[in-house]
Amino acid sequence: MPVPALYRYSALYLPVLLVLGFNSCQSSGSGYVAPDDALFTLLTADDTGVDFMNTVTEGEEYNLLSYRNFYNGAGVAIGDLNGDGLNDLYFTANQGPNELYLNRGDWQFEKVDAGVAGAMDWSTGVSAIDVNADGLLDLYVCNSGNPAGGRRANELFINRGNDARGIPTFEEAAAAYGLDDRGYSTQSAWFDYDGDGDLDVYLLNNSFLNPQVLNPNGENRNQRDYEGGDKLLRNDAGPGGEPRFTDVSEEAGLYGSRIGFGLGSGLGDFNGDGWTDLYVSNDFWERDYLYLNQQNGTFAEELNTRVDHVPISSMGSDVGDLDNDGHPEIFTTDMLPADNQRIKVSTQFDTYTIEGIKNEANYHHQLLQNCLQLNDGTGRFREVASYAGVSATDWSWGALIFDMDMDGRKDIFVANGIYRDITDRDFVDFIEDKEQVKKVVAEKGRYDWRDFVNLMPHNQQANYAFINAGELKFDDQAQALGLGQPSYSNGAAYGDLDGDGDLDLVINNVNQAPLLYRNGARETGRHGITVRLKGPQANRSAIGAKVILHTNLGTQVLEQYPTRGYLSTVGTELIFGLAEDETPRSVEVRWPDGSVSSSETIEKDGVLDMDHRSATDPSAVGEVPAVAATVFSADTALLDVPAVHVEPFFNDFNHEGLVLRKLSDPGPKVVPGDVNGDGLEDFVLLGSIGTPDKLYLQAADGNFRLSSNGSFEQTAGYESSCGALFDADGDGDNDLMLGSGGNELARGADAYAVRYYENVDGNLVYNPILAPQVVGEISCIVPKDIDFDGDMDVFIGSRSVPGNYGLTPQSYLLTRENGTWINNTPDDIASAGMVTDAVWSDLNQDGRPDLIMVGDWMPVTIAFMVNNAEISNVFEIPNSAGWWNAIEAADLDGDGKEDLVLANWGLNSKFRASTERPLRLLTKDFDQNGKSEFIVEWYPPADDQAFPFAQKPQLHAQLPGLRKRTLSYSDFAEATYESLFTDEERKDAIERRATQLQSCVVWNLGEGKVMIEPLPWQAQLTPQFAIALGDVNGDGKKDLWLGGNLYGLSPQVGRADAGRGTLLVNQGDRNWRYLTPREAGIDVTGQVRDACFIEGGGGIKTLLVARNDAELMTFRVTQLTPSSR
């Protein structure tokens, strides 16, 4: 059970309460009534005969003080234990006997005494697996609980067949098989890891130790805990032919340390090589593990290089192909609530400093949210839970991926609930108050844990049922589906309990009857196919097999791994749903040994039995298929000296505690242009504070060489944020103008001055005398001869006021007159907003350039120019206010008019924005201390009212005067912007809005009309910062490459790292075709800040990709066509 992130590095007054919890879920009232047409029907004990209950009672021996996992719950297994063709149910119990219910048909179950009640104190997970390969399902039960060490051994109940009444009989044999582990066992995961044909087992354990007393050092991960750590047990033959399991954890390369707090595991072929890989989700501050099978009896743990971030307190997990591309995704639960009340009362986020400490200690990047890892086809993942709408499900346990509504797309079920909520911040404040604790002890005359535990609230919560709407978008429809009963749910499993061809659902609860749901999908006209597998002798259930259904609409894939989710086992039948217009064509089974079976004799709503004996010889089915020639190829030899950007560390959050993101790391930008007059494009890579800018000159062969420049060394103390190469002095060569940025220094500091480098015989020489007298946090410099006098004028955009986020910075429109820069800035441009980028384009085709500006909290703003560089009017595209980062102009639809490409924040974060639910930024010196403050207001996902985004400690630290207005966390959870501040205090506050967060195209329709349209969903997975336009396939149309990511976010916001570069090929008719990084040949990690195509000698085209605090990436384009920037 998780603990608040804040307390991973501090201690509560009552240390025992530290180890008990994190956030809990949204409370649902007890009056839920399912709709009449609900897909699922809840069946009661009177309906089914299942009267089991996992009753957990606190007492002297077992309570929150003695056992931290007291409310982690128990599991359920679904499987045919008596061989009658019907799936039976087996429930584990924490304090009572485990119970077996035989399925007698028609939803009637009989509780039987089959010797599987268990003799240990505290059962957790259960696997229904044929351990001894006799064709009968056995039961392996994990046990835990007793801190003293007794009555904690895991139990193996070997199925000895049915008695005369048809009731299976079991014999406990864990010790004989070497499976009587005495750790804090959570669950077992069964699979053939070494390819010898039999089933091995990964044993998921929880450390014995209090996580608060462990040294938070990642090196502890390599120190094996032979008693309590995770274990891999290999299936070897015993003396009598029975299996005997041998601990091979160390030689196989698996961790098993004291800092492992495993709660969930997921099996699947993550990298497509035909071998089973393993994902382990760890609670507390230990990171998750991603083990890739090396096909030689060992694993390589590669989470850090294949997964960008994981949950802070990982709980249950499951694996499944959610986008029907043949590659399995990984879904892992955590504890982020969806509503303001729960977020404010129960959630505590790490500070940016603590987040950095964890990462430095090799705990990887961890966020407080569920994580959905999107598989790119090579076993590398992008985390997209926020985009998918599945990141916030509060106190979550079991996770299951299956097709609930039988429409051909897999859905996600999440089990929620906690019987006592240790994370209630008002409760935590109470127990941290020594005087309050002393008072209670004085009143009672003793210290008794019950006097404090009973103050913790209960949180009965509704489970989540996310229906897959396609394009990785999910919608919670638990209430409509009949799954909205409030509960304290933990383990869950699915299986066909009534033989009708859809998947029913069973959930084990704490102190509450289990939930048995009958799925009515088939009765409502949905269709599907059931596949039953019969594997070889040593693996009758064919665990590890991959089943591929080919249809007229594509493919679906299911992998046979029954131990799933959290503490539980699902049925072994594999059920595919079908869309309304989907027709099955064939089924292919790739067996674990590499052999293949296939069948085209398949009917809709039919049952297909596939036997390993029909398999053909193994082929190259496990190999990752080759990809055709790609659009790009990486070429590190393009530069004679690698161009590396170095970003000095600066913690913006220590200076502006409420800011959502760092502003101190804007670069690097690439400034292209011909510097030495040879007709070839060169470029300047801009540097940060302490690192000089770098000039690379292009040679005739298309390669680039670094050119030394003393002026760049001289001005290395500036942070170069943007720039432009253009003929500023009218002498026929390109000079360089650079803006300065960052957020480290005070407003008005000389370090924010615009700089000018005169081109003297191909050398760029710093000349401050010729520079415009402009100081500010500059975001863009965009030259254009706007007055048609033959020399270049320039727009200089400003991003923000350093140290005063939310105030309006000044932008500039400078004209060049008689060799002097003249400030001709109209008010509408000077105060346009927090400008991040701009472009000149003749949108209205009147022969004059128009200025289009975008920015933070800004609408797309167009300043139409007339004669003498004057503005005729300023137009804001309606409903376009966003968090824009970049803009480029080009004719994308071939109609002769330039369109606009706009890079925005995207949809893969907590934030959504619309005209009905806008984001707001309110800025003012609220406390009249001489420095402005700001409030970010948002709509939490589950609320229809806007609230301040900041948490109580952060807002009170910035505005101490608010402490008396919201004394408790409950008070703060009710506070709005209007209730926190009086009318007078709110008066004259600067209000900004955002209503559009998607990266977009603005289509120029002509006649003064434009249409804004979001780019394809793949472009919305991260904040985009770089736009490169060019024809990459030789068809004469401008294609689009986007790059982004943003790591410098407050921990409450998260980490934006799902971008790997987005290539959109222009199909014409305003349509785009997305190419995966593998198909495109360009896979970019890191924080991209700029990109551009450069024409090279010999017709070579190069794409430069500039990344913050990383090496510049260079790619050759295989199609050689003209491009533009």
Reported as a single tens digit per residue, the pLDDT across 1000-1044 is: 999 999 988 999 999 999 999 999 999 999 999 989 999 999 999
Mean pLDDT score, 394-398:
95
Interval 801-819 mean pLDDT: 94
Nearest Cα neighbor of 1052 from 981, 950, 934 is: 950
pLDDT band of 211, cuts 50, 70, 90: low
User: What's the whole-number mean pLDDT along residues 813-836?
Assistant: 95
Q: What are phi and psi of 147, to 5 degrees?
A: -65, -25
Q: What is the pLDDT of residue 1125?
A: 38
- 339 or 866, which is more confident? 339
> 430: pLDDT confidence band, cut at 50, 70 and 90?
confident
- Long-range pairs of 3-7 with CB within 8 A, sequence gap ≥ 24: 3/211, 3/212, 3/284, 3/313, 4/348, 4/423, 4/428, 5/312, 5/348, 5/349, 5/350, 5/354, 5/368, 6/348, 6/349, 6/350, 7/212, 7/348
Q: How many residues does the chain have?
A: 1125
Q: Where are the domains of the chain?
A: 5-530, 632-912+995-1117, 919-993
Nearest residue to 177 (alpha-carbon basis) of 136, 207, 144, 133: 133
- Is the Cβ–Cβ distance between 178 and 246 less than 8 Å? yes
What confidence tier does 878 reach under pLDDT thresholds 50, 70, 90?
very high
pLDDT at residue 202 above 50? yes
- pLDDT at 146 (0 to 100): 67
Nearest residue to 103 via CA among 84, 117, 118: 84
Mean pLDDT value of segment 849-877: 92
Tell me, what's the pLDDT at 149? 60
Percent of the chain residues topping a pLDDT of 70 = 94
Q: For the chain, give the longest Cα–Cα distance.
A: 108
Beta bridge partners of 483: none
Weakest mean pLDDT among 61-70, 528-537, 561-570, 756-765: 61-70
CA 881 vs. chain centroid, Å, equals 25
Query: In this predicted structure, which of 4-13, 110-119, 173-182, 922-931 has the lowest mean pLDDT?
Result: 4-13
pLDDT-based confidence at residue 212 (cuts at 50, 70, 90)? low
User: Residue 358: is its pLDDT beyond 90?
Assistant: no
Identical fold for domains 5-530 and 632-912+995-1117, yes or no, is: yes
- Mean pLDDT, the chain, rounded, equals 92
* Nearest-angstrom CA–CA distance, 401 and 399: 7
DSSP 959-984: -GGGTTT--SHHHHHH--HHHHS-HH
pLDDT at res. 3: 31
* Residues 6 or more apart in contact with residue 643 via CB below 8 angstroms: 685, 694, 696, 706, 1111, 1112
Q: Is the pLDDT of residue 556 over 90?
A: yes
Dist. CA 661–CA 179, nearest whole Å: 50
Q: How far apart are CA 1123 and CA 1125, in angstroms?
A: 7
Q: Cα separations (Å) of 692 from 651, 686, 883?
A: 22, 7, 29
Angle between helices 434-444 and 425-432 (to 10 degrees): 80
Q: What is the mean pLDDT of residues 920-944?
A: 96
**Phi, psi for 1084 (deg, rounded to 5):** -115, 120
Q: What would the pLDDT profile of 504-548 be if each residue is shown by its tens digit?
A: 999 999 999 999 999 999 999 999 999 999 999 999 999 999 999
Specify the pLDDT at position 2. Answer: 36
For 592-603, the pLDDT digits (tens) are: 999 999 999 899
The percentage of the chain sitting over the pLDDT mark of 90, rounded to a whole number, equals: 81
User: Which DSSP letter does residue 221 get?
Assistant: G
Residue 258: strand, helix, or coil = coil
Q: Are 30 and 470 in contact (CB under 8 A)?
A: no
Top CATH class of 5-530 equals mainly beta
- Between residues 152 and 155, the one the model is more confident about: 155
**What is the structure's pLDDT at 18?**
29
The pLDDT tens digits of the residues spanning 570-581 come to 999 999 999 999
Of 567, 431, 521, whose CA–CA distance to 125 is shortest?
567
Q: Residue 844 and residue 174: Cα distance in Å, rounded?
A: 80
Name the residue type at position 293.
N
- Say how far apart CA 435 and CA 429 lie, in whole Å: 11
Instruction: Tell me which H or E stretch contains 352.
Output: helix 352-360
Report the DSSP beta bridge partners of residue 563: 569
Is the model's pLDDT at 413 over the cut of 60? Answer: yes
**Kind and range of the H or E run holding 1079:** helix 1077-1080
d(CA 633, CA 1115): 5
Query: Residue 5: what pLDDT?
Result: 29
Give me the pLDDT at residue 159, please. Answer: 98
Q: What is the pLDDT of residue 26?
A: 32
447 alpha carbon, distance to own chain's centre? 44
What would the mean pLDDT of 119-138 be, rounded to a whole number?
96
pLDDT in the model for residue 639: 95
pLDDT at 436 over 90: no
CATH of 632-912+995-1117, one of 2.40.70.10, 2.40.50.140, 3.40.140.10, 2.130.10.10: 2.130.10.10
- In this structure, are residues 165 and 188 in contact, taking their beta carbons and an 8 Å threshold? no
838, 818 contact by CB (below 8 A): no
- Which segments of 1055-1111 are extended strands (E)? 1062-1068, 1071-1075, 1088-1095, 1101-1107
Alpha helices, DSSP H, located in 870-976 = 952-958, 969-974
Give the pLDDT of residue 340.
97
Q: In b/e form, how buried is each residue of 36-52, taking b as 16+ CB within 10 angstroms?
A: eebbbbbbeeeebebeb
Cis ω before 878 (30° cut-off from 0): no
